[in-house]
C-alpha cells in the first residue's frame, strides 16, 4: 500500500469512506422507508410505483458498490506505482534508520521532507539500470539530449506516460489525479473502474432525485406535510449527482482523446520530445539531433553524454557491438499534438475494454495495461509517421528491423568497451 505523504490527506482519505457510508445509509433509509414504504405503499397504495423505484434503486446501488470496492481495492493494492530506483531504495532505508535512531515519533516534519533524492539528476551512468528498456523500442518520450525522462524523487527513468505524484511521492503509470473519495491515486490500473464508479453513482443519485422529487411534488399537490428527510435526500443526491456526472463526463472526454487529467491540463501547450529510431549512424538533421545507444563510456573524464551525435569515442567497437547499436532522431511535436491518440474508438477500447460487457462491468482490466511491444510502451498513433515525414527521417532498412533480444542488451550493458558511431 502506498499512502499519502501529508498526514492531513491521510486522515481525510481514511474518514471519507465513513462519511460516504453515512450518506448511503441515510439515503437508503429515506428512499426505502420514507418514500417507498410510508409514502407510496401505505399512504397512496401504489405498490407498483414503489416496486419499480426499489428495483432500479437496488440495481444501481449494487453496481455502485461493486465498482466502488473494485476501484478502492485496486488503488490500495495495485495502484500502478513504478518501483523505486536503487538510489531511492538506499536513501529510503537511510531515512528510516535516521528517524529511528533520532527517536522521532512516527509522523513529523519528515512527512513532508522524506524521500527527496535531489542530486541524482539524471543517472549519468551509461549502464544505468533500466535504460536498455527504452532503446530496445522504436519510439519513446525523451529529453532534448535524447535520454529518457528521469524522476529525481524515485531515482528512476520514467517510461512514457509515467508522472510523479507529489501526494504519494511515487511515480505512477498514466497518473490521473489523487482522489480521497476512492482512497488514493487514480491511474492506469484504476481509471476504468473509477469511471464506472462515477457513472453508476450518477445513476444512483438520479434515481434518488427522481423518487424524492416525485414524492415531494405529490406531497405538495395533496397538501400533505413535507418530509424533511426527503428534502435531505434531495440535497445529498443533488450534490453527489452533479459531482459524479461532471466527473464521468470529463473522464469520458479524457478517454476519447487518450489523455489523463494531468496531460489534459497542459494539453494545449504541451510539446512532446520523441526519440524515433532511424538507421544506424544517421547524422543529425537540420531540425533534429541524434543519439546512439548504448551510450559511450566517456573518456577520460566523466561527462554527461550529449545529443546530436557529439560523442567521446572511446575504445574500438566490435562488429557485434556495432550491430547492437541503435540510433534515434530527437524530434519535437507541435503544441497540442498527442502521439498516443489512436482514434476515438480505439482510445476508448484501450481503457474500457474490447467489448460492451467490459465497458459496463468492473472485472477485466484496461487493455492498455498489458500493451507493450518492440515499438513502444503504449500504442502510438499516426502522428509518428507524420513526424517521420515532417522531419524527413530516413526509414529503417530491413537488415536493421529485427528487435534486440533483451538478454543481449543486458549482456551488452555489462560489458566494457561500449562505443558510439
**Interaction site with Zn ion (CB under 5 A):** 151, 153-154, 164, 171
Nearer to Zn ion, 161 or 164 (CB): 164
* Alpha-carbon span 228 to 224, nearest angstrom: 12
Nearer to Zn ion, 137 or 158 (CB): 158
Q: In this structure, is the dihedral angle defined by the CA atoms of residues 136, 142, 146 and 152, taken in order, positive or negative?
A: negative
* Alpha-carbon span 154 to 151, nearest angstrom: 6
Nearer to Zn ion, 187 or 241 (CB): 187
Q: Least distance (Å) from Zn ion to the CB of residue 283?
A: 35
Q: Least distance (Å) from Zn ion to the CB of residue 156?
A: 7
Nearer to Zn ion, 30 or 171 (CB): 171
In angstroms, what CA-CA distances link 125 with 122, 147, 295? 9, 12, 9
Q: Which helix (DSSP H) or strand (DSSP E) does residue 226 occupy?
A: none
As a whole number of angstroms, the longest Cα–Cα distance in the chain is: 96
Q: Least distance (Å) from Zn ion to the CB of residue 151?
A: 3
Q: Which residue has the cell 529485427?
A: 402
Q: Least distance (Å) from Zn ion to the CB of residue 170?
A: 6
Q: Least distance (Å) from Zn ion to the CB of residue 258?
A: 22
b/e 319-346 (16+ beta carbons within 10 angstroms → b): eebeebbbbbbbbebeeebbbbbbeeee
Instruction: Give yes or no for a contact between 391 and 285, defined as CB atoms under 8 angstroms apart.
Output: yes
Q: Which three cell numbers stand for residue 311?
A: 560523442
Q: Least distance (Å) from Zn ion to the CB of residue 87?
A: 12
For residue 267, the 8-state DSSP code is T
Q: Which three cell numbers stand for residue 403?
A: 528487435
SS3 content of the chain, % helix, strand, coil (to 5): 50, 10, 40
Taking residue 313's Cβ as centre, other Cβ atoms within 10 Å add up to: 11
b/e 212-249 (16+ beta carbons within 10 angstroms → b): beebbebbeeeeeeebebbebbbebbeebbeebbebbe
Q: Least distance (Å) from Zn ion to the CB of residue 164?
A: 4
Q: Can you point out the beta strands (E) in 303-395?
A: 326-332
Nearer to Zn ion, 164 or 326 (CB): 164
Nearer to Zn ion, 2 or 71 (CB): 2
Nearer to Zn ion, 131 or 154 (CB): 154
Taking residue 418's Cβ as centre, other Cβ atoms within 10 Å add up to: 20
Q: Least distance (Å) from Zn ion to the CB of residue 242?
A: 34
Nearer to Zn ion, 75 or 171 (CB): 171
Nearer to Zn ion, 2 or 295 (CB): 2
b/e 250-272 (16+ beta carbons within 10 angstroms → b): ebeebbeebbbbbbeeebeeeeb
Q: Which residue has the cell 489534459?
A: 264
Q: Least distance (Å) from Zn ion to the CB of residue 152?
A: 8
Q: Which helix (DSSP H) or strand (DSSP E) does residue 387 occupy?
A: helix 383-390
* Alpha-carbon span 339 to 385, nearest angstrom: 10
Beta bridge partners of 173: 162
Nearer to Zn ion, 140 or 240 (CB): 140
Q: Least distance (Å) from Zn ion to the CB of residue 153?
A: 4
Amino acid at each position: 500500500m502506498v499512502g499519502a505523504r501529508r498526514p492531513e490527506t491521510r486522515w481525510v482519505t481514511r474518514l471519507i469512506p465513513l462519511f460516504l457510508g453515512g450518506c448511503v445509509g441515510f439515503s437508503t433509509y429515506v428512499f426505502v422507508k420514507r418514500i417507498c414504504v410510508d409514502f407510496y405503499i401505505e399512504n397512496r397504495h401504489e405498490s407498483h410505483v414503489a416496486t419499480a423505484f426499489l428495483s432500479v434503486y437496488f440495481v444501481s446501488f449494487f453496481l455502485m458498490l461493486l465498482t466502488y470496492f473494485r476501484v478502492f481495492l485496486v488503488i490500495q493494492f495495485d495502484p500502478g506505482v513504478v518501483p523505486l530506483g536503487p538510489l531511492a531504495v538506499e536513501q529510503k532505508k537511510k531515512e528510516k534508520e535516521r528517524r529511528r535512531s533520532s527517536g522521532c515519533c512516527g509522523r513529523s516534519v519528515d512527512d513532508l521532507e522524506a524521500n527527496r533524492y535531489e542530486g541524482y539528476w539524471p543517472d549519468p551512468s551509461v549502464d544505468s539500470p533500466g535504460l536498455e528498456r527504452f532503446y530496445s523500442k522504436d519510439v519513446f518520450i525523451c529529453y532534448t539530449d535524447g535520454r529518457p525522462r528521469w524522476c529525481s524523487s524515485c531515482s528512476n527513468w520514467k517510461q512514457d506516460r509515467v508522472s510523479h505524484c507529489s501526494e504519494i511521492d511515487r511515480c505512477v503509470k498514466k497518473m490521473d489525479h489523487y482522489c480521497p473519495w476512492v482512497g488514493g491515486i487514480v491511474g492506469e490500473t484504476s481509471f476504468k473502474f473509477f469511471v464506472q464508479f462515477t457513472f453508476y453513482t450518477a445513476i444512483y443519485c438520479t434515481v434518488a432525485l427522481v423518487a424524492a422529487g416525485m414524492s415531494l411534488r405529490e406531497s405538495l399537490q395533496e397538501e400533505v406535510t413535507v418530509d424533511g428527510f426527503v428534502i435531505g435526500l434531495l440535497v445529498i443526491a443533488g450534490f453527489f449527482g452533479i459531482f459524479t456526472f461532471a466527473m464521468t463526463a470529463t473522464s469520458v472526454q479524457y478517454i476519447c482523446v487518450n489523455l489523463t487529467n494531468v496531460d489534459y491540463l497542459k494539453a494545449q501547450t504541451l510539446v512532446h520530445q520523441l526519440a524515433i529510431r532511424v538507421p544506424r549512424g544517421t547524422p543529425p538533421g537540420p531540425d533534429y539531433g541524434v543519439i546512439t545507444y548504448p551510450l559511450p563510456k566517456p573518456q577520460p573524464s566523466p561527462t554527461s553524454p550529449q545529443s546530436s551525435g557529439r560523442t567521446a569515442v572511446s575504445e574500438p567497437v566490435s562488429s557485434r557491438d556495432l550491430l547492437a547499436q541503435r540510433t534515434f532522431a530527437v524530434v519535437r511535436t507541435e503544441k497540442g499534438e498527442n502521439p498516443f491518440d489512436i482514434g476515438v474508438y480505439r482510445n476508448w477500447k484501450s481503457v474500457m475494454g474490447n467489448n460492451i460487457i467490459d465497458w459496463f462491468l468492473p472485472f477485466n482490466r484496461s487493455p492498455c495495461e498489458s500493451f507493450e511491444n518492440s515499438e513502444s510502451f503504449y500504442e502510438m498513433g499516426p502522428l509518428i509517421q507524420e513526424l517521420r515525414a515532417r522531419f524527413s527521417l530516413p526509414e529503417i532498412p530491413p537488415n536493421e528491423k529485427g528487435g534486440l533480444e533483451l538478454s543481449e542488451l543486458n549482456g551488452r550493458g555489462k560489458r566494457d568497451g561500449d562505443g558510439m558511431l
